[in-house]
Amino acid sequence: MVEEPSAKRPRGETSDQSTEVDNVQVPGQKHDYKVHLKEVGIHGKEKLDVVCTSNPDEADKMISRILKRVCGLYPQFIGIDVEYTKEDEPLQRAAVLQLRVEELCLVYHITAATKWPKSLRPFLKEDMFYTFAGFSIEGDKEMLRSSGLEINPHNYINIQCKWRVPFKGRKRYHSLADVAGSMIHPFYKQMKDKIDRVEDHKLWGISPLPNYLIEYAAIDAYATYESWKRIENIREGLESAKEAWKNYDNPYYAY
């Protein structure tokens, strides 16, 4: 359901102000709305529970759900992705922030927002309980910073620097589609072809987002999170096997 727009207008603010509900210093179509897509299909039978919103209270609710979900997991990490405003705008900025843990996905529409969610800044700056994992994360961090948000610089994983797809050629970095197509399912090799890369990418700053772009953003976040989850499982399994082999004759070693 799409809710009616808010009449409140934004005021400027800087990224180092308090974590109270501050007004957003981003240009864009201000529109206070929420869209809840409860069963976004991906490959196979798995479904995503997706909330797309510019409303601070609704974003806070979803962040709370994500926190509860991630705190029950090991290892604890959150998939993160960012979509940008049009390149031909005077200052390109972050338009949409995607956060994902397991089946939960928040698509936060920054450029449509009139206020920051109370929990968003401390959530992004957390340095103890979870880690963010993403692709091209340096560019995402720069775009978020231009919109007044910052990720803890010591608490993120750039998957492109941690994993290469075997036998995929000599290019310096492998894309999300490369990695997800290898780690999850071949379906993801064409994931970026689901929208028009030129025209549709101009729409991220416009609100409300159409459902097909919300689904695209959610699948991006899913592929990011699930790729790193599987990479971590493989890494942990290999390390565990090495330890077990070294201690094979140790009767006191706990497998």
Domains and CATH numbers, the chain: 34-244 (3.30.420.10)
In sequence order, what E strands does the chain have? 34-41, 47-53, 77-84, 94-101, 104-109, 131-134, 156-158
Peptide bond into 117 cis (omega under 30): no
Predicted confidence at residue 130, as pLDDT, reads 94
pTM here is: 0.83
Predicted confidence at residue 247, as pLDDT, reads 78
Q: What is the mean pLDDT of each run of 10 residues along the chain (255 residues)?
A: 37 39 55 92 86 97 96 91 83 93 96 94 92 89 90 89 84 88 89 85 90 95 95 89 80 69
Where do we find the tokens 């492109």? 160
Structure-block tokens of residue 238:
């290999």
Contact 41, 47 (CB under 8 A): yes
Predicted confidence at residue 11, as pLDDT, reads 35
First to last CA, the chain: 50
The amino acid at 29 = Q
Predicted confidence at residue 28, as pLDDT, reads 56
User: How far apart are the C-alpha atoms of 184 and 177, rounded to whole Å?
Assistant: 10
